[in-house]
Structure 1
Amino acid sequence: MANNKTNRCLYLSDFKSFIESDPYSILGRIHDAFHGQALTTTDEAWNSEINLLQSVLVPWKDEDAEIIFEYDIPRLGKRIDAVLLLRGIIFCLEFKVGQKDALQSDVEQVMDYALDLKNFHRYSHDRIIVPILIPTKHRSSSNSFTPSVYEDSIFNPLITGANGLQNLINGVLQHARANTPGTIKDWIISPYTPTPTIIEAARSLYENHSVEDITRHEADKVTTDATIAYILDIINRSKKNGEKSICFVTGVPGAGKTLVGLDVAVKQSYQEDGTFNVDNGAVYLSGNGPLVAVLTEALARDNYKKSKNKGEDKKLSDSRREVSKFIQIIHRYRDNMLAKIKNPVVDGKLEIDPLKAVRLQQSGYGEVEHVAIFDEAQRAWTHKRIADYLKRGGTYGNKLKVANFPMSEAAFLIWSLDQREDWATIVCLIGGGQEINTGEAGISEWIAAINNRFQHWRVYISDKLTEPEYAEGKVNDLLKHNSKVEYSERLHLGVSLRSFRAERLSTFVHSLLSFNPDTEELYKNVISHRYPIVLTRSMDKARSWLRQQARGTQQTGILISKVSARFKPLAVHVLPQSEDNAVHWFLEDKTDVRSSNYLEEAATEIQVQGLEVDYACVLWDADMRYDNGKWSFWKFNGKTQWIPEKNVETQKYMLNAYRVLLTRARQGMVICVPEGNSNNTHEGFPEDTTRLPIYYNSTYEYFKRIGLTEI
């Protein structure tokens, strides 16, 4: 019968049980495991695939073989329609139900799945992998079974319609001389382990175009080298002493925390002679989807262009795959560990289920890397948020439901590394005052987890974590009874690479938002270092100013808070929430209307945190208003009026949103506070009650008093 021991697929069964089961029963199992509402077309596709494969697999019904639907490749976020494990061979099937033609993009898709398995799936490294594209109405079938020219045991993609699939599978088995029945033990729960080949490729790619190039800094004094060296020393100490350690790195906006994280990930994975260090790998993880998407695409595009110029036969997807060795989404790492636990959780204690995980000699039940670098660690979820999420069934695609989840996300990530049986190091990269979403725990949750659950971990901490922006200045109190704490100034990045003409920009922004008396003086200091900050009430003037400032390939963009609501009257649209949209907004050039340079679509703090443009317009809406020496916070009801926001926690997130927006520009910015609509109807009533001038005037006057130059 079907085996539901894993959360990595929607359906798993031996051939015999699958063939003898009622198709609607199988469809029901798939539905039960699926998170979200399946579309009618998805249902029809699954039903067609089930019926087809029940017929196709009959010749091998009594063999020890397995079928898997919707397999989630560990930590990559990619799902294969169906996998057959037959006579030691891995068949990757991609269905295009109702389609007649084989499109090049579809062939590339199924080939990419095969390559992802080969490069990242431990129990596929040394196996024959056969990618098959099945446009079900295709009238012909491949008749040439050719391994790829790279000698990696991957067949060149095969194409067949529904009618030819059985003969095609049989032909592959005969060609490969696969006569011994058998599945691949524990393939479904295989660990994620990149091959040395993919890691060497990633290293080469990274060295050819580092994230330092993306930051385009011109700072004379850069502290990243000292910070990287200090972290690597902590890692070496942990390895030598067989310890678990965690270090917290702080930095002003744009100081290069991402650069530090990726450099540590790369340098930790190689020995001094440049060879891959198989036992000491590191991974850079971020919960910021747009950041990961933009970094990955920027590095991959550059590598692809360089490879083409050298005459190398390389696809863009190959470059993306190489980048994904080092840059990954934190939620996929988390979900891969969640798939290993005993469920339901008993007595508030997380335990590994040995039926769901493979215990490796070095890493035990932990992940393959010794070192995990968590960017924007302050955004890790609170216990309530992750517990509510998992209670519903959190992971998209698979219903990974965990009732009574006992930990915050920070605690669970430490627990995940604690599963290693030798040593481990966590590097937390932290932006001060940048929690921007409800349910983001901030740094205090990491410290609470160490104090309450992981007292055996050594703690290395930036001396700047005692400042108000981090855990509300309570870090010393939180750690005063912990004897394993070491403070160091080398864990703070105090020089902004992004704002190389105004190292004090972040200080000015903090002062501006806090109404400090030195704000005017700090503004003069910033602009004296050739970092212009100007003020306007007109989006036309703001756009004109941005276009005048930017030269060559310098990038401009409009930024708004996610709570903003009344920007359409100013001919501004919000950038839709999608990683692809963020990639286009940041990376396309001035010839592409999807580019930020067109100044039509505005990105929110969610899409730009950790990233930047050269010149920005911060469009200030009525969601945050100056009110007699303090900020008042408002949310639009979507119809007729702004409603006061009274929740203190939400107010903090709204304030931090503007902190993020005001520190995204490398070279200068214009702040646009609209005039609102002062017109009345014939009857004497306001033409637009949602944009009354009173909503904006006090904020504008506050900026004027500080001395911001108006254009």
Structure 2
Amino acid sequence: MVTKSYFAASVPDFLARSTEDILGRLATRVGSEHSGNETQQIRAWRIQIDLLKDALRNADSDSWGILLELPLLRLGRRIDTIILVGDVVACVEFKIGATNFTGADVDQAVDYALCLRDFHAASHGKRIVPVLCSDQACKSQLPENIDFIDDVSQCIRTNGEGLSRALLAIEDLSGGDQIDWQSYDASSYSPTPDIVTAARSLYSGHSVREIGRADATAEALERTADRLKAIAEEARRDQKKVVCFVTGEPGSGKTLLGLDLVFSGTAGRVAEEPAALLSGNRPLVFVLQAAIAEDARQREGIKADEAKRRAQQALQTLLGYLKDHADANASPPENVIVFDEAQRAWDADTGLKLLGRAKSEPELFMEIMGRLPWACLVCLVGSGQEINRGEGGLALWGEALAKSEDWTAHISEKALAAREGLLGFFDIASGLDVSLVNDPELHLNSNLRAYRNNLHGGWVAALLDGNIDKAREIADEMEHAPAFVTRDLSEMKAWLQTRRRGDQRVGLLASSGATRLVAEGVPPSPRSDSLETVVHWFLKPAGDFRSSNALETPLSEFVCQGLEIDYAGLCWGNDLIWDGQAWMPRKMRAPNWQLLRKDAEQQYRINTYRVLLTRGRAGTVIYIPVGEESDSTRRPKEFDGIFDVLVSSGCRQLS
């Protein structure tokens, strides 16, 4: 029987087979899927199999199942051993020849367990115990109690001799029906990479299909990716100019698609012609540039300067691109351009201030790319994320298209009919001569970022629309609470620290307008031009005080938009309070708060919290201060109102 794992069987079958038989099966699979010298791997497998046999003979394991070398495609690795102990999953990582337990090895074992919990269908809802077996370590480190956080326990550290005792301790945890090993092995594994991991993988030559999920969400994403490549190829073949609007809620995979189009080999680059992803979000660009440059340097052995140059060629800032091609004779080298967060395009007044030309960003782009014989401009659009003055939304794209005779727009009918910032211009300009093609596959309905709560985007929208009853209804349908809330900053940090395991990243967030959080012990965010600080925040590992994991510095909406972490701690300020009926956006006019009166300014503040509430991939905890009665800028009643409405909307109290 063909299995996903290199070897899978019941434990009695495993014990009955000879070590040579099992080795042969493992060697055959690794030889068919990988090239290279596997001699060292086979030696390690031999020791590993003998250790497992000795340990399992000492356990009441007649009903258990065992899987060897279960592939985790997202990580490009395989889990050494899975042992199904009743209704508990033991995830065992072997370090053959190791004499100690390193922090990196522990993180690896825990990360495998977390990947199973989050992305492996048969592991869903099961308790998972990561085990690190350094076979030559002096002694095992078995905990007195095995405690679980979100279904994954702390890592058990054992040497070869203590593996049997570790399995007996896990057996004591089992209290339900035995997991069927055949169903477990056949179960789907549907990983959702974070944007930094995705950028690294795509830049190294993988496609969105290879790094993505294996479910309906992935199929929809792949269809959109294929459609974008087909449109780009048609534009090249027919020598025409097209603009594609890819729409979807925050976290639906739009940036992933853009990276795929730019990075993924000949298909993505359209017959090896250059392509680039542009973003006005400088922190996003610099974080991704740093991540892929370091990855390329290590993987290809090239110098750091060359790796950085390549990264900067593929990922560029919008303003830099426009300045480079301001001259009417400066034709760009790229026929395919991806414009990230196109809903944030700035208007003609901003164009005059930044470039000395009273044209909107869409007009300038169409003018520059219009110098080429053919062009494909892909606009990635997220609704409700305009957070800055001068951002005219997608109406500007409609106006630019109406002025141009050369461009054809591809957009889904669903996005075309939307009213909340999505191409609103087209809704009122039906009489204008704009060439439109209805492309249903250019709208993404799923949420890849909140992979443990796929209804999260809808909950955020209902909450910020002030529809608290609807938000509660959505929350009641969720398997996990949409967010946790607490009035204690130290409690929030402790909750986050317990979830900083394996490669998972935690961090603090706060609105740029929440200026009085400093009185609660929350420092201000670094500015969006403090790029090195932001790169360190997203990329430095735990233990480095510059890392997000240190929980020392929050990021604002301007710095974190487009990026993501696993668990977010949102410090909610009183720049957005609840009056009992609706949200009241405010700004600080020292020494007092002032209500925002203009519709656009109100929407920017609400969109700020939309961005902040959608940064956490696995979960979010919200800190609402208690306030201080003697301080008119930190009234407890206002914070109480925020806390009460969040609880009413379905958030769960930490305590």
**Shorter-chain TM-score tier:** 0.5 to 0.7
Deviating beyond 4 angstroms after TM superposition, the runs of 4 or more aligned structure 1 residues are 203-207, 209-220
Deviations 1:338-384 (A, max 9, x none): 1x1xxxxxxxxxxx2xxxx4xxxxxxx42111111100111111111
* Shift in CA distance, 623/288, structure 1 to aligned 2, threshold 3 Å: same
Measured after TM superposition, the shift of residue 462 of structure 1 is 2.4
Residue aligning to 1:325: 313
1:600 to 552, 555, 570: 552
Query: Are 1:367 and 2:332 counterparts?
Result: yes
State the AA in 2 paired with 1:283. Answer: A
* Shift in CA distance, 677/256, structure 1 to aligned 2, threshold 3 Å: same
1:462-477 to 2 correspondences below 5 Å: 462-465=412-415, 466-471=417-422, 473=424, 475-477=426-428
1:243 to 217, 240, 243: 240
Measured after TM superposition, the shift of residue 323 of structure 1 is 1.4
Residue aligning to 1:670: 621
* Shift in CA distance, 484/231, structure 1 to aligned 2, threshold 3 Å: same
Secondary structure of the residue that 1:325 maps to in structure 2?
helix
Deviations 1:485-527 (A, max 9, x none): 112221012222211111111111001111223210111223x
1:224-235 to 2 correspondences below 5 Å: 224-235=221-232
Secondary structure of the residue that 2:291 maps to in structure 1?
helix
Residue aligning to 2:279: 286
Identity level (%): 31
State the AA in 2 paired with 1:611. Answer: L
Residue aligning to 1:536: 486
Contact 1:291 1:609 (C-alpha < 8 Å) held by counterparts: yes
Secondary structure of the residue that 1:232 maps to in structure 2?
helix
Residue aligning to 1:380: 345
Measured after TM superposition, the shift of residue 305 of structure 1 is 2.8
Contact 2:280 2:317 (C-alpha < 8 Å) held by counterparts: yes
1:265-664 to 2 correspondences below 5 Å: 265-267=262-264, 270=266, 277=271, 280-307=273-300, 312=301, 314-338=302-326, 340=327, 352=328, 357=329, 365-390=330-355, 402=356, 405-420=357-372, 422-451=373-402, 453-465=403-415, 466-471=417-422, 473=424, 475-479=426-430, 481-482=432-433, 484-516=435-467, 517-526=469-478, 528=479, 530=480, 533-577=483-527, 578-637=530-589, 639-664=590-615
* Shift in CA distance, 448/483, structure 1 to aligned 2, threshold 3 Å: closer
Contact 2:481 2:650 (C-alpha < 8 Å) held by counterparts: no
TM-score calculated relative to the size of structure 1: 0.60
* Shift in CA distance, 579/524, structure 1 to aligned 2, threshold 3 Å: same
Measured after TM superposition, the shift of residue 438 of structure 1 is 0.6
Measured after TM superposition, the shift of residue 657 of structure 1 is 0.6
Secondary structure of the residue that 1:658 maps to in structure 2?
helix
Contact 1:566 1:621 (C-alpha < 8 Å) held by counterparts: yes
Distance in 1 separating the partners of 2:501 and 2:460: 26
1:248-267 to 2 correspondences below 5 Å: 248-267=245-264
Deviations 1:620-655 (A, max 9, x none): 101011113211121112x42212221221111111
Residue aligning to 1:698: 641
Secondary structure of the residue that 1:701 maps to in structure 2?
helix
Distance in 2 separating the partners of 1:335 and 1:441: 20
TM-score calculated relative to the size of structure 2: 0.65
Measured after TM superposition, the shift of residue 425 of structure 1 is 1.3
1:707 to 615, 637, 650: 650
Distance in 2 separating the partners of 1:633 and 1:206: 40
Measured after TM superposition, the shift of residue 479 of structure 1 is 4.6
Measured after TM superposition, the shift of residue 608 of structure 1 is 0.9
Contact 1:501 1:531 (C-alpha < 8 Å) held by counterparts: no
Distance in 2 separating the partners of 1:651 and 1:218: 40
Distance in 2 separating the partners of 1:628 and 1:564: 20
Contact 1:209 1:303 (C-alpha < 8 Å) held by counterparts: no
Measured after TM superposition, the shift of residue 277 of structure 1 is 3.8
State the AA in 1 paired with 2:331. Answer: G
Distance in 2 separating the partners of 1:446 and 1:215: 32
1:208 to 204, 207, 231: 204
| Structure 2 runs not aligned, ≥5 long | 1-198
Contact 2:245 2:380 (C-alpha < 8 Å) held by counterparts: yes
Measured after TM superposition, the shift of residue 674 of structure 1 is 1.1
RMSD: 2.5
Contact 2:351 2:358 (C-alpha < 8 Å) held by counterparts: no
Distance in 1 separating the partners of 2:278 and 2:354: 20
Distance in 1 separating the partners of 2:454 and 2:485: 20
Secondary structure of the residue that 1:602 maps to in structure 2?
coil
Contact 2:253 2:448 (C-alpha < 8 Å) held by counterparts: yes
- Number of residue equivalences: 451
Contact 1:381 1:408 (C-alpha < 8 Å) held by counterparts: yes
State the AA in 1 paired with 2:298. Answer: K
State the AA in 2 paired with 1:600. Answer: E
Secondary structure of the residue that 1:270 maps to in structure 2?
helix
Contact 2:459 2:475 (C-alpha < 8 Å) held by counterparts: yes
| Structure 1 runs not aligned, ≥5 long | 1-202, 341-351, 358-364, 391-401, 679-685
Contact 1:301 1:316 (C-alpha < 8 Å) held by counterparts: yes
Contact 1:215 1:497 (C-alpha < 8 Å) held by counterparts: no
